[in-house]
Amino acid sequence: MQPLSDAYGRVATDLRVSLTDRCNLRCTYCMPEEGLDWLPLESQLTDDEVVRLITVAVERLGVREVRFTGGEPLVRRGLVDIVRRTAALEPRPETSLTTNALGLARTAAALAEAGLDRVNVSLDTIRSETFHEITRRDRFADVVAGLEAAQAAGLGPVKVNAVLLRGVNDDQAPDLLGWCLERGYELRFIEQMPLDAQHGWTREGMVTADEILAALEQHHVLVPAVEPRGSAPAELFLVDGGPATVGIIASVTRPFCGACDRVRLTADGQVRNCLFAREESDLRSAMRAGATDDELAQRWLTAMAGKLPGHGIDDPTFLQPDRPMSAIGG
């Protein structure tokens, strides 16, 4: 076993696997209304190819946690089978799913039975009109049903990820927190990042971690949770004495690149050593040209060795990656 180390002493053990770049919502901070030019299906990894690469990562490269994402991973037909085969690997990795929860009400039980451990559901508001405005679809009730089904299926602790947008839902942070506390969901706010396909992100438009904390503190007493942040991107706060917590992921204003333990695999089989990487390593072509597992592992190690120390959003030379979040796997 050789760990996925880089030149700055970091070791990647958390693999984010994008299963598709397609999605049934159109969140304004992620995609344009008309959607994107989806990857041609022949360049998308097959179920067997995805499982083979995950196996290489777990058995040879020390990956301990596999998170499925997209696009919307629930639209991938082979999802339950991919989860089952991943959870059967030795040593068994932790498995989780980042999803918009459309259709989760139907699949949560099957996913849990296949070995999925946890879900993270993206939900930015509890007002159905605001949900429609942000996602451009009228599907708030489906997300609520998906969350309930995930909790009933034991896919917990159920986490909720929220992005705040200035002038749209930036006044709703306390409402969302109250709603999650009542239901036992762990809420985390994520600062909006320059990863939208339309390149519409601006620093002024982004609602900062400090603003979010200030808004929450008008209604709750927040105390930093004692456990060290480690490589976890969320800074956790005990709410009103705990045990419930709320998290803030300040990717832009308080970056955690120095403790990053992630690596990403896109739906078309490219390894990315960072969300903001401008280079990728093409494992799909190597695999289809007959590379052995050893050769794939070597390519993966080389890809990680070149990981930069930070995302550089504050650097004047910063360039947004060519792929948007939905095609990288957030």
Q: Which residues bind ligand SF4 (CB under 6 A)?
A: 23, 25-27, 30-31, 70-72, 100, 122, 326
Which CB atom, from 13 or from 69, has the smaller least distance to ligand SAM?
69
Look at residue 306 and give its three-state secondary structure: coil
- Cα angle 326, 329, 330 (rounded to 5 degrees) comes to 90
Amino acid at position 280, single letter: E
User: In DSSP terms, which residues pair with 223 in a beta bridge?
Assistant: 238
Closest CB to ligand SAM among residues 195, 296 = 195
Closer of 30 and 153 to ligand SF4 (Cβ)? 30
CB of 72 to ligand SF4, least distance (A): 5
With CB cut-offs between 5 and 8 Å by kind, which of ligand SAM, ligand SF4, none does residue 13 bind?
none
- Indicate the DSSP class of residue 170: T
Binding residues for ligand SAM (CB under 6 A): 23, 29-30, 69-70, 72, 98-100, 122, 161, 163, 190, 192-193, 195-196, 325-326, 330
Rg (CA), the chain: 19
Say which residues have a Cβ less than 8 Å from residue 315's Cβ, sequence separation at least 6.
Answer: none
At its nearest, how many Å lie between ligand SF4 and the CB of residue 30? 3
| Minimum separation from the CB atom of position 224 to ligand SAM (A) | 23
Spatial separation of the C-alpha atoms in residues 327 and 322, rounded to whole Å: 10
Q: Which of 116, 122, 82, 88 is nearest to 102 (CA)?
A: 122
Nearer to ligand SAM, 54 or 190 (CB): 190
To ligand SF4, the closest distance from the beta carbon of 150 in angstroms equals 16
Closer to ligand SF4 by CB, 70 or 269: give it.
70
Tell the smallest beta-carbon distance from residue 23 to ligand SF4 (Å): 3
What is the rounded distance in angstroms from the CA atom of residue 225 to the CA atom of residue 238?
A: 5
Nearest of 9, 63, 70, 66 to residue 260 by alpha carbon: 9
Picked from ligand SF4, ligand SAM, none, the partner binding residue 31 (CB below 5 to 8 A depending on kind) is: ligand SF4
Q: How far is the CB of 163 from ligand SAM (least distance, A)?
A: 5
* Crossing angle (nearest 10°) for helices 47-60 and 79-87: 20
